[in-house]
Every structure is written in structure tokens, then in C-alpha cells.
Amino acid sequence: MRHKLDQARENIRKALGKEQVSPSLMAAIESLLVVMEIMVTIFLEKKTRKNSSNSGLPPSRNNGSNGNRNTNPGDRNKKGNQLENTRQVTTSETISPRECNKCGIGLSAVEAKETEERKKIDIIYEIVEHTVNAEIKECPCCGHLNKANFPQGMDGKIQYGIGIKASIINFLMVQMMSLEKVSEHFRGLIGRFISDAVMLKYIAQFSLSLEEWEKRMTKDLLNSPVIYADETSIKVNKKNYWIHSYSYGDITLKFVHEKRGKEAINDINIIPRYGGVIVHDSWSSYFLYDNAEHGLCGSHLLRDLKFIEDSTGDKWATSMKKLLQKAAQIISGRESKKLNNREYKYFEFLYRNILITGKKELPSFPEPTGKKGRPKHTDAQNLWLRLNEHEKSVLLFAKNKDVDFTNNRAERDLRDSKVKQKVSGSFRQVEFAKHFVRISSYVKSMRYKGYSALEAIMLALQGNIPT
């Protein structure tokens, strides 16, 4: 459709060139052509459907069945240590053929040429019950009754050990099972019904025990060269709240706040104190902080460029997409993880030329009307303005070896929050939403170190969190 409009414009200009047309009529016709071009652009953008390949929509919201295409976050050092409260019983046996299957001769005295191994692994749960009887004695002098003090942690008639507590936290916070299912599981396992109140108490206690770990990780994050930041919405008692994620290396920290923008960022107080590079998806609130450099997520830009390419067929969008992909490809194959100065200048030159060409392809930008806020632009114009205004942030990945091309790390760290919302719908209280994100932050960070979720929870309950 864009091609047909360009052809019609050229035909009109040729026809008018042969006639004596007044300047006012020529101006009116040019204005009409501009309006038609804007209408065509808007029509094409609205007509093109957005999906996970050309926008920020997740794969689950694509039309049709394409499944999840989550990529492996990378090889991690899988430690696989056995938990301290488990015991391993290993047995082995060797079996030999008694006689030849073909001629029937005995083989008992024949030495084995080789062996073939097969294993069977099973779990047999062992309930460890420890009873403490406190004696009560009467003083022979004054008659006062004296009771022995129970060990620390035995405050009630019945209490549960670290193994059961760790399993409850793992089932509820990591596996995202319901309270009812977890309670049913333990009723079949230990013959006792564990109430919702007791399980929620364990969640709250465990979250509070991680406060010092969270402060320590915040300090380490502030000293990191890059922070990958993102945010996503979550429902709390039918009200929209936001989970803010900050991560780098093997550190992931998440926080719940009722706001998304500057107020939340100031209350969390990580970005206002940070002096490195913040990589994000160009959410405007991040740009308010000039105490740090900014890098823009290449994946978001590629998806936006693909949408413009699909909807309008603009050549500048295709050229820009190929340029960014080429730079990312060159860097990925290098040990230095960046372009040299000459290469960077060349890519910068191409980047600016593409924007110059793109402005000619785009419909005329609307003039300011004097009203509050900037004039309304098409999606293509908005993307062009973003690329033009934040050139340094877009190309920072090519200049700084610590900055990744994408912000996928921060997005991956938020996925369990969306899964939790799908499973349970929402949180009833803000307090437990905060408990969830703190425990999730700890488990995610420990997974980057190579520990499983259950191992990480057990270590924290024992007070042995690795530094």
C-alpha cells in the first residue's frame, strides 16, 4: 500500500508539472498527500498484529500454538550436594551368566570380558521423631515446683524440624503449590495435618531471616559495573502492584511497590545511589537518573523494528535491525566483547545515516500545538525519535564489554512472578507478596551459584548461606 501511495504521488506531480497550477492549489494537494500518507501509516500499524517476535508480548499471548520458546539461561555450576538431613544407602551387586546361551557350556570359571551397568534409585521417607520430657521437681526446702527448660525451638506441644520447614517453603514459594495440596502431602507423609497458619508462619519467618542477606546483596549490587533492571505488574488484593527487579552476575533482587515509576525507584533506593550502567527497556522513569549511564535492551529494539518492518515495510527499519544484529554478532565472537574505536565510529556513522534516510521515509512529524505534552506520533515515528535521542544508550553494548546486548537477564528473573500470578491469581496481602519476592530473589541468586532451591532453603535455615 505504501508503494502504491508513492506511485500515485509521483503521477500527480508529473501531471501537475504539465499544467499551470497556482501555488495555493499545489500546497493544498501536497497537504492532502501528507494526510493520506499519515492515514496509510496508521492503518498499516493498526492492521499488523503484535506478537512475541515484534513486540514485548510473551509467547503465551501469540495467536496460534507456538509453545514456550524460553532459552537456556546458560550452563551453571550444578553442585548437586546431598542435603545434611538425608542419608544415602548405596548397595551394589554383580550378576554373571551361568552358561553359554548358544552351546550350553558352563561359564563360572571364565573371567568377565566387560560389564554393563544399570542403576535403580528410590526414596524411602524416614520420619525422625524426638521427644523431650522435662521433669518437674519440688524443692524440699520451700516447696517450689521447678521445671527443666526445654531446648531452644521447642516452644509448643509439637514443632517441626528443618526438613519439613524447608519442604513447606519449597512447595509453596518455588513449586507454587497451594496450601491445601501441601497440607494434604504432609498428612499422607507424616500422618499429621499442618495448618495454613503454621505454614504461613514459616514463610514469614524465613523471609525475615533473609533481611541481612538482602542488605549484603544490595551492597554488592551497588558495586557492580552493570545493573539489569525491569519491572512487571502483579495483583495484590485485586489491586495492581509492581515487582521491580535488579540483577547482575549471580545476584537477583526483587521488590514489591504499589508504583512503577520514580516514587518506587526512590523508595527502593538502589538506582539513586548507583554510578554504573543501568540496562533497561527505555522506560522513561529510568532516564530521570543521570548519576548512571543507560543502556537500552537490543531485544526490545529488534522487536519494535520488526513490527515497523512488518506493518509499513519501511526500509530504514530493516536496515537498522540488520545493523544492530551485525554488531551483536561481531561482539559475541570476540573475547574482548566490544568493538574497537575504528569499528565503533563506522557503526555510529551507519547508524546516523539510517536515521537520516528513515526520516525521509516517515510521514511528516506533526508540529507542536502549544498544548501540554508532545504531539501524537505513529509507532514508527516514536521508535525513530527514541533511536535518535538515545543513540549512545542503544550502542553502549558495542563500546562497553560489561554491557550485554539484551536485558533478558532481568526478564528471566521476573518469570516466576508471572507464573505465580497464573497459578494463584493474586496475593491477598502485600506482606506475603513481599515475602514471595524476597524468597524468590534468594532462591534465584543461589541457583546462579549452582545450588538447587531445596539446598538453598536448607542452607538458610541452618544459617550457612554461602558468601
Summarize the confidence of residues 370-388 as an average pLDDT: 85
Q: How far apart are CA 467 and CA 465, in angstroms?
A: 6
Give the neighbor-by-neighbor strand order of the sheet with 226-236. 251-257, 239-248, 226-236, 277-280, 293-296
Q: Read off the pLDDT of residues 196-245 as tens digits, 9 standing for 90 and up.
A: 999 999 999 999 999 999 999 999 999 999 999 999 999 998 899 999 99
Q: For the segment 151-163, what is each residue's pLDDT rounded down to a tens digit?
A: 888 888 888 889 9
Q: Supply φ then ψ for residue 42, to 5 degrees.
A: -65, -40
**pLDDT of res. 30:** 66
331's enclosing H/E stretch is helix 315-332
- 312, 5 Cβ separation under 8 angstroms: no
Q: How far is CA 263 from the centre of its chain?
A: 22
Using one digit for the tens of pLDDT, what is the confidence trace for 63-91? 443 333 333 444 445 555 556 666 777 88
How many whole angstroms from its chain centre is CA 423? 17
Phi-psi region of 450 (alpha: psi -120 to 50; beta: other; left: phi over 0): left
Overall average pLDDT of the 169-194 stretch: 91
The whole-angstrom separation of Cα 343 and Cα 347 is: 6
Helix pair angle (379-389, 341-361), 10° resolution: 150
- All three cell numbers of 378: 505513529
Q: Which long-range contacts (CB under 8 A, 24 or more apart) does 126-129 make?
A: 126/87, 127/189, 127/190, 128/161
Collapsing DSSP states into helix, strand and coil, what is residue 303? Answer: helix
Do 344 and 352 meet the contact criterion of CB atoms below 8 Å apart?
no
In this structure, of 9-23, 184-198, 302-316, 449-463, the range with the lowest mean pLDDT score is: 9-23
Interatomic CA distance for residues 343 and 340, integer angstroms: 5
- All three cell numbers of 265, joined, read 525507584
Which cell is 452 given? 538447587
d(CA 277, CA 227): 6
3-state SS assignment for residue 325: helix
User: Which amino acid is residue 164, in one-letter code?
Assistant: I
Give the CA-trace dihedral at 119, 123, 124, 130, to 10 degrees. Answer: 130
Q: What ranges do the domains of the chain cover?
A: 156-211, 213-365+376-461
Buried-state track 332-367, b at ≥16 Cβ within 10 A, e below 16: eeeeebbbeeeeeeebbebbeebbeebeebbbeeee
Where are any strands of DSSP class E within 291-330?
293-296
Read off the pLDDT band of 5 (50, 70, 90): low
Q: State the DSSP H helix or E strand holding residue 341, giving kind and residue range, or none if neither.
A: helix 341-361
Helix, strand or coil, per DSSP, at residue 73: coil
Rounded Cα distance between 58 and 406, Å, is 16
Q: Is the pTM of the predicted complex or chain greater than 0.85?
A: no
